[in-house]
């Protein structure tokens, strides 16, 4: 078996619009294609012995043991790999269950697309590779220890996942349909889109005051402010030297606490110091984290963490450091191992509690006791193993929210206001919280920015608290979802022009538009990224921009197949058409399969939104049967039966009728504009651009704050040019000839372009054509056939990137198509685009129109501009020479 390709899908995709996180592995079974599981001796037994938990996989049988029954009957190894990949992730603490294994129609024998869900991207990729290794070992009867793979995936999971605090906020936002984007590999996350976005980093929010965080991180400054406000705090001072430590010991006496002034998570802290030797060691430990060190009187009692969000008390937890209780028989190591057998304890954050590990802090505490791991504690003796009660080091928490005295609640909320911290963790040492801390001898030890939430959402004992809810309430009040309108546009041809026109109309209505196209990403008409930007990375670029309040996103086949869509939902989706282009690429071998790819986009429309579909295209129109949103149709024929049926049901549509772009609400017509007044249509000659106007007009009309007048203005002011519509009907007038540059790159697009050219008044029409190497033979031949039907002469040139073919192959196929239609048409071959353009300039046919199928649009336009400048300079020189 051989892995040919692994893709990580992160959004709505070809396999599922709901299951966003999928691994797609292209697997060649090679000789294993002829070895179903029932023909491999002992395979079922070895599989069940290695992974007995696969019994729970129901598979298509729908009952426990269903997958094993399929193995007994005989199933192919791609299917087995899928189930192994799912199960080893589950065993590593990532419970996943969706999988599919298919051979696409038209794919060669033995090739399978193995698709399965993942929780963490890197762990999913690891599972894909490991599952093939495991299956190979099972086939060969080799020993294979899967525990290493499972532990590796646990480590990957902990290294890459959002922490429990950030994760619970993101989960709460997702429940409310608030979108999120992870902005880095750590804990920086954007909630919402565009101008309505908020950000969190762990439990610091974009609303959190920077000065408040700065104060909270300075323990001495925090203590000074609290003490000045009559909040009970431990007596203490700040020191830098042993001399200062000596003075502090004399002033406050033992027991003491020593900690760095700007430490966090208990790093460098030493508590219950009772001797000078302990004090000097603690000073050295604290100074590893900063020059200044706090020395405080050690307050006895219990360690509580109280949480205040948006200046309201939310909950409180009693924290207990990792510890063991002696039984008088076994040593400390044995007791730790027993505690770690608790099924609630796991690796990292995978369970409610974390396993206790032996580290330098544990060794230091045992040294302070005079113990080692071999020491046998007395029965009932509690041995603390960590200096702090952090859950991540094996500590436990107990919810005590309902026990907190009203006076303490008032004090906690007041502390948050004093520091100015909207998400605030307050550490309290006291005998209890049932009585006022000011009366029971307790004290406020610290105020924490970015407090951990895990102790509250997953306490070892007591009621879990949904502390993420008030955070999301604070960031998105009154039910706001933090979204901006999204119009997503897909199809084979016309996507970019429709996208640009739609964005222009929205801009005319006062929107701050971000849009993506096949030539770049634009934020309010400023190009931010150059190139083919029709994939999810470009869409995210727009959605992350804090100045954008309206997004128009071109979504091409390639991005959907490679990564899925960047968004889970949109307000409007447009499908322009589906034609035979890119067939045979990415596992898509039929036009019906291509329609399924394009159909992913309208499936993401909100139930209250609209799918805008081409009623003249059978495959596009058929998409409406699978949609759960509103449908709006467009057509070049108002008498299209589908339009009439839709109108009879009071549906919304946009049609070309009597020379007008016309909206129809049921049978009522709103004539928007005569096409001769729309510059994009070249006085109605560019029929394909009339077609592109229809969905743009209809999509914008769906938004109440975009008026008919806005739409008319947008249509009239959208002037086609190489800057506004690069690669789309770009005319360049030279002295003796004209060039028309267009990105037509498939038969459907070339036919539309040639229809337009045939209506133009030029004495001779010359086509400069090429074929794309990764297209089917018939597609390339058809380009030649169309060219021979419309052009008087043809120049064949080759793309810079031949995409797996030789230049001779492509030229040969184009000539076959040309000769089939008109064997007598003059044909010239020139190796590349630049040379072809130079040849035209140096050998022009007087009055000719040269129609150029561009390879890379930006480069072709730059070359044509260069020739224009050259002509102008030559003209100036000629004029000067005659003077």
φ, ψ for residue 654, nearest 5 deg: -135, 130
Decide which of 261 and 265 is more confident: 261
pLDDT of residue 883: 62
The region of weakest confidence among 553-562, 700-709, 742-751 is: 742-751
Mean pLDDT, residues 144-149 taken together? 96
**Contact (CB, 8 A) for 630 and 611:** yes
Angle between helices 121-140 and 43-50 (to 10 degrees): 140
**Contact (CB, 8 A) for 801 and 773:** yes
**Contact (CB, 8 A) for 419 and 225:** yes
Percentage of the chain lying above the pLDDT 70 cut: 99
pLDDT band at 581 (very low <50, low <70, confident <90, very high): confident
pLDDT band at 103 (very low <50, low <70, confident <90, very high): very high
φ, ψ for residue 397, nearest 5 deg: -135, 150
Mean pLDDT, residues 837-849 taken together? 95
For residue 7, is pLDDT > 90?
yes
**pLDDT tens-digit readout, 388-432:** 888 888 889 999 999 999 999 999 999 999 999 999 999 999 999
Percentage of the chain lying above the pLDDT 90 cut: 82
User: Which two structure tokens, joined as six digits, stand for 428?
Assistant: 């309290």
pLDDT of residue 365: 86
pLDDT of residue 535: 95
For residue 331, is pLDDT > 70?
yes
For residue 285, is pLDDT > 70?
yes
Decide which of 334 and 877 is more confident: 334
For residue 772, is pLDDT > 90?
no
Best-predicted range by mean pLDDT (279-293, 564-578, 853-867): 564-578
**pLDDT tens-digit readout, 604-617:** 999 999 999 999 99
178-184, long-range: CB within 8 Å, 24+ apart, which pairs?
Answer: 178/472, 178/476, 178/481, 178/482, 178/483, 179/481, 179/482, 179/483, 179/543, 179/567, 179/568, 179/569, 181/540, 181/543, 181/544, 183/544
For residue 238, is pLDDT > 80?
yes
pLDDT of residue 882: 66
717 Cβ contact partners less than 8 Å away, ≥ 6 residues apart: 504, 508
pLDDT of residue 341: 92
pLDDT of residue 263: 67
CA distances from 210 to 201, 289, 311, 468 (A): 13, 21, 16, 21
pLDDT band at 364 (very low <50, low <70, confident <90, very high): confident
91 Cβ contact partners less than 8 Å away, ≥ 6 residues apart: 53, 146, 150
Decide which of 831 and 483 is more confident: 483
pTM over 0.85: yes
For residue 26, is pLDDT > 70?
yes
pLDDT averaged over every residue in the chain: 94
pLDDT of residue 877: 72
pLDDT band at 739 (very low <50, low <70, confident <90, very high): very high
Burial class (CB in 10 A: 0-12, 13-18, 19+), 793: middle
62 Cβ contact partners less than 8 Å away, ≥ 6 residues apart: none
pLDDT of residue 65: 93
Strands laid side by side in the 312-320 sheet: 396-399, 312-320, 302-309, 423-430, 443-448
For residue 479, is pLDDT > 90?
no
Instruction: Give the residue from 637, 653, 660 showing the smallest Cα distance to 715.
Output: 660
Torsion sign over Cα 133, 138, 142, 148: positive
Mean pLDDT, residues 717-728 taken together? 90
d(CA 512, CA 522): 11
pLDDT band at 584 (very low <50, low <70, confident <90, very high): confident
Mean pLDDT, residues 17-31 taken together? 94
Interstrand relation of 513-517 and 520-523 (parallel, antiparallel or unpaired): antiparallel
Strands laid side by side in the 236-239 sheet: 236-239, 293-297, 256-260, 270-273
Instruction: Give the residue from 788, 784, 576 showing the smallest Cα distance to 691.
Output: 576
Beta strands in 650-729 (DSSP E): 652-657, 660-665, 668-674
pLDDT of residue 868: 93
Mean pLDDT, residues 741-752 taken together? 91
Measured in whole angstroms, how far is the alpha carbon of residue 347 from the centre of its chain? 27
**pLDDT tens-digit readout, 647-687:** 999 999 999 999 999 999 999 999 999 999 999 999 999 99
pLDDT band at 361 (very low <50, low <70, confident <90, very high): confident
**Contact (CB, 8 A) for 411 and 430:** no
CA distances from 378 to 88, 144, 381, 382 (A): 42, 44, 5, 9
Q: What is the 3-state secondary structure (H, E, C) of 501-551?
A: HHHHHHHHCCCCEEEEECCEEEECCEEEEECCCCCHHHHHHHHHCCCCCEE
Mean pLDDT, residues 74-83 taken together? 96
Q: What angle do CA 80, 84, 87 make, to 5 degrees?
A: 140
């Amino acid at each position: 078996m051989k892995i040919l390709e692994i893709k990580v899908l992160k959004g709505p995709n070809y396999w599922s619009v709901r299951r966003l996180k999928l691994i797609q592995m292209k697997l060649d079974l090679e000789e294993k294609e002829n070895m179903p599981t029932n023909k491999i001796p002992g395979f079922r037994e070895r599989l069940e012995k290695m992974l007995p938990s696969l019994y729970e996989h129901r598979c298509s049988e729908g009952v426990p043991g269903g997958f094993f029954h399929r193995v007994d009957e005989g199933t192919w190894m791609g299917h087995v790999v899928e189930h192994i990949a799912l199960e080893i992730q589950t065993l590593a603490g990532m419970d996943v269950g969706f999988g599919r294994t298919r051979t696409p129609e038209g794919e060669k024998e033995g090739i399978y697309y193995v698709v399965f869900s993942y929780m963490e991207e890197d762990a999913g990729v690891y599972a894909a590779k490991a599952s093939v290794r495991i299956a190979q070992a099972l086939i060969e009867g080799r020993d294979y220890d899967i525990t290493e793979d499972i532990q590796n995936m646990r480590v990957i999971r902990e290294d890459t996942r959002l922490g429990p605090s950030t994760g619970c906020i993101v989960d709460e936002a997702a429940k409310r349909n608030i979108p999120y984007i992870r902005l880095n590999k750590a804990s920086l996350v954007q909630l919402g889109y565009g101008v309505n976005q908020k950000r969190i980093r762990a439990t610091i929010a974009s609303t959190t005051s920077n000065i408040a965080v700065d104060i909270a991180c300075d323990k001495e400054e925090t203590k000074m402010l609290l003490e000045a406000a009559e909040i009970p705090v431990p007596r203490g001072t700040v020191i830098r030297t042993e001399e200062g430590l000596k003075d502090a010991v004399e002033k406050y006496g033992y027991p003491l606490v020593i900690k760095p002034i700007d430490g966090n998570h208990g790093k460098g802290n030493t508590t219950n110091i009772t001797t000078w030797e302990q004090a000097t060691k603690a000073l050295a430990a604290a100074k590893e984290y900063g020059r200044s060190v706090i020395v405080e009187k050690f307050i006895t009692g219990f360690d509580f963490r109280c949480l205040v969000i948006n200046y309201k008390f939310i909950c409180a937890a009693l924290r207990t450091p990792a510890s063991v209780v002696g039984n008088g028989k076994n040593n400390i190591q044995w007791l730790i191992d027993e505690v770690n057998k608790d099924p609630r304890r796991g690796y990292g954050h995978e369970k409610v509690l974390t396993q206790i590990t032996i580290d330098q802090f544990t060794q230091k505490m045992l040294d302070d006791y005079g113990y080692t791991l071999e020491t046998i504690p007395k029965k009932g003796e509690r041995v603390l193993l960590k200096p702090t009660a952090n859950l991540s080091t094996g500590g436990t928490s107990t919810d005590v929210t309902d026990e907190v005295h009203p006076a303490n609640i008032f004090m906690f909320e007041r502390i948050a206001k004093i520091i100015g911290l909207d998400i605030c963790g307050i550490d309290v040492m006291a005998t209890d919280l049932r009585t006022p801390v000011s009366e029971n001898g307790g004290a406020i030890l610290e105020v924490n920015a970015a407090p951990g939430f895990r102790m509250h959402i997953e306490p070892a004992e007591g009621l879990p608290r949904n502390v993420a809810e008030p955070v999301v309430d604070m960031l998105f009040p009154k039910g706001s979802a933090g979204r901006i309108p999204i119009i997503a546009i897909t199809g084979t041809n016309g996507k970019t022009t429709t996208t640009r026109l739609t964005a222009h109309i929205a801009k005319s209505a006062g929107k701050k538009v971000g849009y993506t196209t096949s030539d770049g990403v634009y934020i309010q008409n400023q190009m931010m990224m150059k190139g083919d930007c029709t994939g999810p990375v470009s869409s995210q670029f727009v959605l992350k921009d804090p100045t954008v309040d309206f997004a128009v996103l071109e979504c091409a086949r390639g991005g959907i197949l490679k990564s899925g869509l960047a968004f889970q939902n949109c307000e409007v989706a447009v499908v322009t058409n589906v034609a035979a282009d890119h067939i045979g690429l990415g596992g898509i071998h039929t036009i019906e399969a291509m329609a399924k790819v394009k159909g992913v986009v309208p499936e993401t429309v909100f139930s209250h939104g609209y799918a805008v579909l081409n009623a003249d295209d059978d495959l596009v129109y058929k998409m409406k049967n699978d949609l759960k949103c509103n449908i709006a149709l467009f057509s070049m024929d108002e008498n299209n039966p589908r339009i009439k049926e839709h109108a009879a049901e009071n549906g919304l549509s946009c049609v070309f009728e009597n020379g007008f772009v016309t909206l129809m609400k049921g049978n009522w017509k709103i004539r928007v504009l005569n096409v001769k007044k729309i510059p994009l249509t070249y006085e109605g000659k560019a029929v394909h651009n009339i077609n592109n106007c229809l969905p743009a007009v209809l999509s914008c009309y769906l938004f109440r704050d975009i008026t008919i007048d806005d739409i008319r203005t947008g249509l009239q002011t959208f002037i086609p040019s190489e800057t506004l519509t690069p690669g789309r009907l770009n005319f360049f007038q030279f002295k003796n000839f004209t060039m028309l540059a267009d990105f037509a790159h498939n038969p459907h697009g070339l036919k539309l372009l040639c229809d337009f050219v045939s209506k133009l008044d030029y004495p001779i029409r010359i086509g400069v054509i090429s074929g794309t190497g990764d297209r089917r033979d018939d597609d390339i031949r058809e380009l030649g056939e169309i060219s021979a039907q419309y052009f008087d002469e043809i120049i064949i040139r080759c793309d810079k990137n031949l995409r797996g073919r030789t230049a001779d192959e492509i030229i040969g196929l184009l000539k076959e198509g040309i000769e089939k239609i008109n064997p007598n048409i003059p044909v010239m071959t020139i190796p590349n685009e630049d040379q072809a353009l130079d040849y035209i300039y140096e050998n022009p046919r007087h009055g000719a129109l040269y129609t150029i199928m561009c390879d890379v649009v930006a480069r072709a336009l730059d070359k044509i501009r260069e020739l224009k400048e050259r002509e102008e300079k030559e003209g100036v020189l000629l004029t000067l020479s005659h003077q």
